[in-house]
A and B are shown apart, each in its own frame.
Chain A
Amino acid sequence: MGNLKLTSVTKSFGALTVLHDIDLTIDNGKFVVFVGPSGCGKSTLLRIIAGLEDISAGGIEIGGRDVVQLSPAERKIAMVFQSYALYPHMSVRKNLAFGLENLKFKRSEIDTRIAEAARMLAIEPYLERKPRQLSGGQRQRVAIGRAIVRNPDIFLFDEPLSNLDAALRVQTRAEITRLHRQLRTTMIYVTHDQVEAMTMADEIVVLNGGRIEQVGTPLELFDNPRNLFVAGFLGSPRMNMLKGKVTAVGEAAAVIDVGYGVPLKARIDPAAAKVGQAVLVGIRPAHFAIGDSEGLPFVVQYHESLGTETYVYGTLEGRDEQIIVHQAGHFAPERGALLRIMPLPGRVHVFDPDSGLALPRTIEQRSAAHEHA
């Protein structure tokens, strides 16, 4: 069974600790994405699960079995490498067969599995070719095929799409998702691309500086980021941040002043906020309504039209921090135009500027956010 349990996994290279006390449980059959900026430890964590790196401390269980002392081959995992790591001197067929031959599978069983994987990935026409005779996308499929024939408990993907061009990346993304639905096997997928994370994952693990920042479904993380890092990392363009001050705390919502005499309502737990407390207010570009008279004064600098949507870049009147506002459809404000923008109700995130943590929200807020989504 492909469930995975990491307990207090720590990894150090000499004096440098790259993973701190990672605790993580992944249920069987889930598609989990490790996401984070370069150097956050996501690839190292994947390689630790694969058995390609030792751990300095902690425990790893796969299917309830302690695998810390086991070699990669004994862990019943298969890995797809960023570089594909196909054996360049072997044909596609031999690449697929190599692992099974090593495990002393019967010839007939090997042939059956290769035929099945080749059909599933539509690589039948290339079985006798060498990897260098294939395009990047085809190599990618062969690399996935090599993982499939092993019939592993867990698939590990290390940034598998980063060497493909944009169009192929979108296509392969969909194919991997389809493959997961078909195989129902646990897949762990490392990427620095938050779009891949959002579109593919059942569950996202956000890593930063060797620590897990937050674990949850894509929408949980999007709607309720636990801290400034997650709020800034997921969502593109990134969340806007405004400095503010709590002016009133009520049962259902707190009132926050960000200037311009426009009080913002945020549904945060009254126990968590104090009047007079300095906060950071986070609002995603898509969560502004552009009004006529009400709202914050927004001075337009320029806009980007993507056809079906428009991003307007500017600042609040008299301030320097850039604010991005999303608008559906065509929208072409003049440079220097003054717009009034108002955050949508229930879409205001509030953070403690010192700890970076989000102030806990009221329960209604969470469900409301889900309905909106």
Chain B
Amino acid sequence: MSTPKATDLGGRALDFVMGIVEAPINGFERLMGRKRMPYLFLAPNLILFGIFTFLPIAIAVGYAFTGGTGLFVSERPFVGFDNFRQLLQCEDYFRPGSCRESLFWTAVWNTLWFVGFNVTATLLVALVTALILNRAMAARGFFRAMFFYPVLLSPVVIGLIWKWFLDRNGLLNAFLQMLGVPPEIFLLEVGWSRFFVVVVSVWFHMGFYTLILLAGLQAIPKDLYEAAAIDAASPRRTLLRITLPLLGPNLLVVLILLMIRSVQIFDEAWVLTNGGGPGTANSFIVQYIYQMAFGSDLRLFGLASAASVLMGLVLLALTLIQLRLGRKMES
């Protein structure tokens, strides 16, 4: 192989590796033909993806139509749509108590409310942060890193940090007491606990969305703003008529990702609220699925799978609608 002589260490390492793989790759190429070679390179990833993503999806769909508490397919009787019927049987969907699976419907409504508040709040906070970071300001890199930093943390760590902060004897109450405000047991009060689940989620994820929006803002040509300045556009008009429309595709991406991720809320809220408390105030769909399948030895894999399938279908529908909208926006 006639790669140019590498003098640096990385280059020499690359040469070494290339020397080893050259012969087998050439062999494969003779065996498969050049056209089919890309699939060989894709194969490792496809195999992993298949085992850990496609296979579980298929298994879950299959399990959704079976009953019992057995783990293996052979031990699970086919029950048709029973699990779905059980989940959807309801006198009034707006009153979870009237449903056969009241816990599921409580979780559905909790999740919907959470998605509404969380998507709106995260979108606004991320947008405002991106707009500020997009201006020429001192220490921009520092702030960008700071806002992105929580994204790197584990959800469990996030949950624990905030729990410590919001605890009855936590930092926030200590601070409030200093100001003479009576302490509040934030995580045991329905309103406050829901509020802080959203706050924590916004704080956790906003850095990621800020980054996407910032990239979009920086892709808007500078001369459009100069043209707008000459066209006497006020800052407000510039934002509404130039910046936001041109940021549209990025906003749509953020919206799709945010909705999907919000529907999937679980780990940090689970840790923060001690399992969805107070009561079922912060019990969400994924938590319901987890509890049915693995919590307190219920082993209701069929019911859990059916709930997963339903949630998957809703997410799929949401995504398709938004993609359709995105295409319409572009043309």
Chain A CB within 8 A of B237 CB = yes
- Contact between A71 and B224 (Cβ–Cβ < 8 Å)? no
Which residue of B231, B242, B248 is within 8 Å of A73 (Cβ)? B231
Question: Would you call A83 and B223 a contact (CB within 8 A)?
Answer: yes
Interface set, chain B 230-246, CB cutoff 8 A to A: 230-234, 237, 241-242, 245-246
Tell whether, in the assembled complex, residue B233 and residue A77 are in contact, meaning their CB atoms are under 8 Å apart: no
The answer, yes or no, to whether A103 is at the interface (CB within 8 Å) is yes
Q: Which B residue sits closest to A156, measured CB to CB?
A: B230
A86 to B221 Cα, complex, angstroms: 10
Residues A103 and B246 in contact, CB atoms below 8 Å apart = no
A99 touching B223, Cβ below 8 Å: no
Complex-state Cα separation, A99 to B233, whole angstroms:
7
* Shortest beta-carbon distance from A267 to chain B in Å: 48
- CA A73 – CA B224 in complex, angstroms? 14
B241 adjacent to A98 (CB under 8 Å): yes
Q: Which of B227, B229, B246, B248 has the most CB of A within 10 A?
A: B227
List of B residues within 8 angstroms of A126 by Cβ: none
Determine if A237 is an interface residue (Cβ-Cβ < 8 Å): no
Q: Does A88 contact B (CB under 8 A)?
A: yes
Taking the closest CB of chain A, its distance from the CB of B240, in whole angstroms, is 12
Across the two chains, which residue of chain B brings its CB closest to A82? B223
Interface pair A81/B223, CB less than 8 Å apart: yes
Q: A83-B221, A83-B223, A98-B241 are in contact. Are A88 and B246 (CB under 8 A)?
A: yes
Q: Is the CB of B232 within 8 A of A103?
A: yes
Which chain B residues border A195 with CB–CB below 8 Å?
none
Residues on the A chain within 8 Å of B241, using CB: 87, 98
Chain A 61-72 interface 0/1 with B at a Cβ cutoff of 8 Å (1 = within): 000000000011
Cα–Cα distance between A87 and B228 once the two chains are bound (Å): 9
Residues of A within 8 A of B231 (CB): 73, 98-99, 102, 146, 150
| B226 interface hit (Cβ, 8 Å) | yes
Residue in B closest to A53 when the chains form the complex, CB atoms: B226
Contact B226 A85 (CB under 8 A): yes
B247-291 residues at the A interface, CB under 8 angstroms: 248
Q: How many residues of B contact A (CB 8 A)?
A: 18
Task: Give the Cβ gap from A312 to chain B, nearest Cβ, in Å.
Answer: 44
**What separation, in Å, do the CA atoms of A81 and B245 have in the docked complex?**
21
| In contact, A72 and B233 (Cβ under 8 angstroms) | no
The CA of A83 and the CA of B229, in the complex, are separated in Å by 16
Residues 188 to 239 of chain B near chain A (Cβ within 8 Å): 221, 223-224, 226-234, 237
Please tell me if A52 contacts chain B, counting CB pairs below 8 Å: yes
Counting contact residues on chain A (CB < 8 A from B), the size range is 20 to 34
List of A residues within 8 angstroms of B227 by Cβ: 79, 81, 85-87, 146
Contact of A85 among B223, B234, B248 (CB under 8 A): B223
Report A283 CB to chain B, min CB distance, Å.
43
Bound-state Cα–Cα, A51 to B232, Å: 12
Distance from B36 Cβ to chain A, minimum over Cβ atoms (Å): 38
* Cβ–Cβ < 8 Å partners of A99 in chain B: 230-233
In the bound complex, how far is the Cα of B316 from the Cα of A349, in angstroms? 79
Contact for B237 among A71, A72, A102, A150, CB less than 8 A: A102
Q: Is the CB of A50 within 8 A of B234?
A: no
Q: Measured between alpha carbons, how far is A92 from B185 in the docked complex, in Å?
A: 59
Minimum distance in angstroms from B182 CB to a CB of chain A: 52
Q: Which residues of chain A (17-60) have a CB below 8 Å from chain B? A: 50-52
Specify the chain A residue showing the minimal Cβ separation from B329. Answer: A89
**A364 → chain B, closest Cβ, in Å?**
48
B238 to chain A, nearest CB (A): 9
What separation, in Å, do the CA atoms of A149 and B231 have in the docked complex?
Answer: 11
List chain A residues, Cβ under 8 A from B228: 87, 98
Q: How far is the CB of A75 from chain B (nearest CB, A)?
A: 9
> What is the bound-complex CA distance between A51 and B229, given in angstroms?
9
With A73-B232, A83-B221, A98-B233 as known contacts, state yes or no: A89 contacts B245, CB within 8 Å.
Answer: yes
Judge whether A78 is part of the interface by a CB distance below 8 angstroms.
Answer: yes
Determine if A81 and B226 form an interchain contact, defined as CB atoms under 8 angstroms apart: yes
Residues 193-214 of chain A, each 1 if its beta carbon lies under 8 Å from chain B, else 0: 0000000000000000000000
Contacts of A71 in B (CB 8 A): 229
Kindly list chain B residues whose C-beta atoms are within 8 Å of the C-beta of A73: 229-233
Taking the nearest CB of chain A, how far is it from the CB of B242, in angstroms?
A: 7
B224–A50 contact, CB under 8 A? no
Smallest CB gap from A52: residue in B: B226
B230 in complex: contacting residue of A78, A83, A87, CB < 8 Å: A78
Complex: chain B residue closest to A99, CB-CB? B231
Residues of A participating in the B interface, judged by any CB pair closer than 8 Å: 50-52, 71-73, 77-79, 81, 83, 85-89, 98-99, 102-103, 146, 150
Give 9 CB contacts A-B under 8 Å. A50-B226, A50-B230, A51-B229, A72-B226, A73-B230, A81-B223, A87-B228, A87-B241, A103-B232
Given contacts A89-B246, A102-B234, 5 further A-B contacts (CB under 8 A): A79-B226, A81-B227, A83-B223, A87-B227, A89-B245
